[in-house]
Amino acid sequence: MDATIEVSGLRKRFGQVLALDGMSFTVRPGQVTGFVGPNGAGKSTTMRVILGLDTADEGTALVGGMPYPKLRNPLSEVGALLDAGALQPSRTARNHLLWLAHSQGLSAKRVDEVAELMGLGGAIRRRAGGYSLGMRQRLGIAAALLGDPAVLMLDEPFNGLDPEGILWVRGFLRSLAREGRAVLVSSHLMSELQDTAEHLVVVGRGQVVADTAVSRLIAAASNGRVTLRTPSRESAMETLSPAGAIVTVTGPDTLVIEGMEAERVVSLLTRDAVPFAEVSAHRATLEEAYMDLTRASVEFHGGAGR
């Protein structure tokens, strides 16, 4: 099976609310893809459609080229964590993993392997009902990993994790991706995905707002602008314009330069001995880039999110 998720033209309506409005994107193997958007943007619904739990009104969702319900031992193809609280509280964590393993023809040995991997250790024989949210997230990820799947889909896996846990999970997800898996991780907080996701699918109002590499997104948001404060406005413009920069006057001693990196601005000004008080490159954070993108698509419709 190809480790891909292909979503194409998904539409779904819950009563009055259009939850998915032409959602389309592809998740490729070998990298962590962040699936971000405000609450109610359709992330969970999209994941549920991919997993065959919800049916889309229109469009297709394929995992490794197949609709999820056609997969034979699905947990060995796709691992998913949707709701860490979906547990029978009186069953031990180990038995929770055990019935899942049995459903896929996997052995109890595999259960102990993933439990070990997720650091559940001695707690594995405790009732899952007594687990903290963080422990449940670990158990949920362990369940997703049971079948050693090529595709992983995790819905808000950082919820309830302590900072140490967040760091650990980030590293863990990167290592899973390096093994060649397709990893789709949703979050409503972009900061959680910083340093984890290499690719981002940003959604809002049931649509994809941006589908891009993280580096390009940041560059686009920064747009390469450099702010220059100089007493010699005219000389600076004479130096920089011929070198290819677009220079805009924004104040008596302020220029904004586009299309040229700050280092080159400094070296050109130095070469021509143009005095300047400050050169500052404007580099956007992922957060800012995300805010730019989603500002338009934030909706506050209580209760509509799934």
Q: Which residue ranges make up the site for other proteins (CB under 8 A)?
A: 2-4, 28-30, 48, 51-55, 68-76, 80, 82-83, 85-92, 95, 98-100, 102-107, 110, 143, 147-150, 179-181
CA 270 distance to own-chain centroid? 42
Which C-beta is closer to other proteins: that of 25 or that of 290?
25
* Beta bridge mates, 251: 254
- Closest of 285, 216, 225 to residue 255, by C-alpha: 225
CB atoms inside a 10 Å sphere around CB 126: 14
Smallest separation (angstroms) from other proteins to the CB of 225: 34
Residue type, 228: L
Is 150 within 8 Å of 181 (Cβ atoms)? Answer: yes
Q: Is 233 helix (H, G, I), strand (E, B) or coil?
A: helix
266 — phi, psi (to 5°)? -65, -45
Smallest separation (angstroms) from other proteins to the CB of 183: 11
- Closest of 119, 122, 124 to residue 97, by C-alpha: 124
Which C-beta is closer to other proteins: that of 34 or that of 79?
79
Q: What is d(CA 9, CA 20) in angstroms, rounded to the nearest whole number?
A: 9
Query: Who contacts 163 (Cβ-Cβ below 8 Å, separation ≥6)?
Result: none
Q: What is d(CA 201, CA 25) in angstroms, rounded to the nearest whole number?
A: 7
Coarse DSSP helix, strand, coil percentages of the chain, rounded to the nearest 5 percent: 40, 25, 35
Which C-beta is closer to other proteins: that of 26 or that of 232?
26
15: left (phi over 0), alpha (psi -120 to 50) or beta: left
Which C-beta is closer to other proteins: that of 24 or that of 76?
76
Smallest separation (angstroms) from other proteins to the CB of 274: 48
DSSP structural state of residue 217: H
Q: What is d(CA 81, CA 84) in angstroms, rounded to the nearest whole number?
A: 7
Smallest separation (angstroms) from other proteins to the CB of 196: 18
Q: Calculate the alpha carbon distances from 259 to 239, 262, 289 in Å.
A: 14, 10, 19
Which C-beta is closer to other proteins: that of 173 or that of 257?
173
Q: What is d(CA 180, CA 63) in angstroms, rounded to the nearest whole number?
A: 15
Smallest separation (angstroms) from other proteins to the CB of 248: 42
Smallest separation (angstroms) from other proteins to the CB of 10: 14
Smallest separation (angstroms) from other proteins to the CB of 252: 53
Which C-beta is closer to other proteins: that of 84 or that of 274?
84
Which C-beta is closer to other proteins: that of 125 or that of 295?
125
Smallest separation (angstroms) from other proteins to the CB of 141: 13
